[in-house]
Structure 1
Amino acid sequence: MHRLVIAADRALVDGAFRPAAVTVEDGRITAVEPLGATPAEAIRLAADEVLLPGLVDTHVHVNEPGRTEWEGFRTATAAAAAGGVTTLIDMPLNSIPPTIDPAALRVKREAAARSALVDVGFWGGAVPASLGSLEALWDAGVFGFKCFLAPSGVDEFPHLSHEQLDRALEELAAFDGLLIVHAEDPEVLDRHVGGGGPGYPAFVASRPPEAETTAISAVIEGIRRTGGRAHVLHLSAASALPLVAAAKAEGLRLTAETCPHYLVFDEEHIPDGATQYKCCPPIRDRANQDALWRGLLEGVVDLVVSDHSPSTPERKFAGGGDFQAAWGGIAGLQSGLSAVWTEARRRGVPLETVVDRFSRRTADFVGLGTKGRIAVGADADLVVFAPDAPYALEASGLRYRNPVSAYLHHELVGVVRRTLLAGVDVDPAAAPRGRLLERA
């Protein structure tokens, strides 16, 4: 039986920092006690370090198999651990085959089992061809079903029409499955098609807030009619916050997430041609960002997740700075906590509030009650974090398959010094120890 004790002047327990000695036995936390006399063999954190629960990132595109040159389980989970993430839930695209049936899920699980350094679960996909057969994938252990309401960017994962969205919600309501939705309306996008080019404001104008509010309204109407449950992915447009708040007040089972890049970057500071910042929906202006922060702190937005969506440099910089041609995704799995903490610190938002949105709330969202918390009986997934340590993120420090990220060269605060999975340090050079998770 593996046993250790970690002593910290500041450990995040029950939503607040306090001195604690955390005892770990056989991968689980067996005691959280006041910091007093600790055994000689205890790990004693430095004065500038805090003990956090491992983060749970429920929105990660690993891309293996099929597009492993973009990313893979080994590199993605190494980057996750470097950023304090001990559990990730893999999206059903952009891998080939997409995870839209039990056979494809088996392929995904086999790939992850060979390489994962942290724990990994899986989302299924709801595409037109899979409607009517979603329950089999649910029974195979996926945490829910991802769909797009606008083109996804890859041909093998087509989007749902509004009529198909209703069919999916009806089907999932029958077994209380969860639909997670990329909510942009294609008709609105078609009315705002831009001509491309390096101008960032023109790209933002091609994906206006109306695309999100129209799509989110359709999702809300669908769950109102079916009694189902749904989750809005990567909410970017603050104008959608009143819709989400009203749906929650009505008692509808709707949740929403946002991402570090929407909380950290703003339109005014993105140079023309800087396609490393391209994502869909887009990063909007500073006033919009301020409103997203308010929505997060008020509980309208439930979670913060990376939406890690990497690609090769050739795809990310396709067109030589043309926002229309470049791949629309940001690699942020490794830097999300420190990036958001840097901005939160500037805004006077405490670290415990930030960590809660990355850990306990994300874990509870997918039903992983033993993750995302420092508590007796929880998994001993722990992070040693130096919240006041500054650093500049450089390509040499990235563990992604391709060292491309919008966060490169930004001055950040908060360094992950150790990440433990089930009480054992994650070693990128060691044999994989990540466990494959299924919905409880």
Structure 2
Amino acid sequence: MLSREEENDTLVEIAQQILTNATKISQQLPEKDIDLRLGSQSDLWETHSGQIDELRSTILGLTSRLDKLLEGPHGFLHEYVSPSWEHGALYVLLEFDILQMIPLEEGAYVSAAQLAERANLPVEKLLRICRLVATAGILEEVKEGKFSHTAISELLVKDEGFMSWVHFQLFETRVASAHLAESLKKPNPFWTGTAAFETAWGAPMYTWHAENPEKGKRFAKAMQSVSQSLDPGNGLIIDWLSSQDQYTKNALLVEVSGKTGTFSQELATKFPTLSCEVQDSAPELLARGKQLIDSDPSSNLAERVHFRSRDLMGPRTIEELPIKDVPITFLIRSVVWNMSDTAVTELLQSFIPCLERHQSDGPAPCLLICDLVSPAFGTFESHVEKAFRRRDVTLMTMHNVQQRTSKEWGNLIGKVDSRFKVTYNERFSSHSCRGLWQVQLADN
């Protein structure tokens, strides 16, 4: 955290610190000239650990403070609330596939008139929309009324999953967030109340996406992209398994509510002697996952990845598993973040009969829980913490759920059974914090 004295630095002192740290980070980079032209790449953007990341974070914090000092309260607030117009303009470009109409070639550009004709939009309106988006650096107006790509729009065109995430943020979440205040005008407790999304759209988010399949498909692509690029949870699980040979060699991992089993397939590929069972209450998801495995016989996963339709909360026994006399890990991944304390307790209690089945010649059964965590106050400087506090409000807005701190999670898990022996680890990315709890029954 920055000290009170550091927060009160003068303009010149902050500018000098920016220059000092920018010089240091430049010395760490193989390329010295960084810009946003089409095709641009940089270790500055790709590196998310080590000194480069630390220096980048420091500079971003300093520039944020410098901006506020330069703008003053009125100027800051004006800029803070105005981007909704830029967001609406970018949504138009995404909704009408405008970015895909501009060639991804250096020096190529397209006039607003050509884009308007292809998209069947009024050129006078599209020109103004493109110009606003260009002021943010997402496009470039290379000549009057003629637009080309930058590295930012290039990313959106090339990464469909990430573009879907941006699309989702600009539509569903933008409308839902505008209804957060309305949802709080009557008693509205976490878990049992009504989410702002439902206030806005008339149905809970997952129900609304099911009723609007095109938006639902876009949301699925968005979440897949985010989990791959920003979510540290899968890496946390893989690293734990890599350090626990007794749970990967001739062992079984049961992924609870594993949907199509994509992650179990990844684990079975990474650990050749590990078998997996994917459990889910949606037979259509399990069938889709099994079809993917069966369609690729060369993967040799069909013998080691099993699928079973199962109620999430039902009582569990070792006897129901496809393999019994091996070390067993139960994995609950991204399942309990939206559950009330009562529901989490009920779910964890269902594993106790299995955790009690300790074989004398092998490790005790283990329950792994990997889920979202709200970082404790003061963990980060404010410009970094913003992303995590945004996540807290996002989950409240979209689902009316409370994101728990690691302490709150620990207290909840510990109350399920006094015999629980719990080991905790956590990992941060730039926008997500994940906790991993290893739960076993203490020896009698």
TM-score for both structures, normalised by structure 2 = 0.25
Q: Which has the larger radius of gyration?
A: 2
TM-score for both structures, normalised by structure 1 = 0.25
Q: Which structure has greater strand proportion?
A: 1
Greater relative contact order (CA < 8 Å, ≥ 6 in sequence): 1
Q: Which structure has greater helix proportion?
A: 2
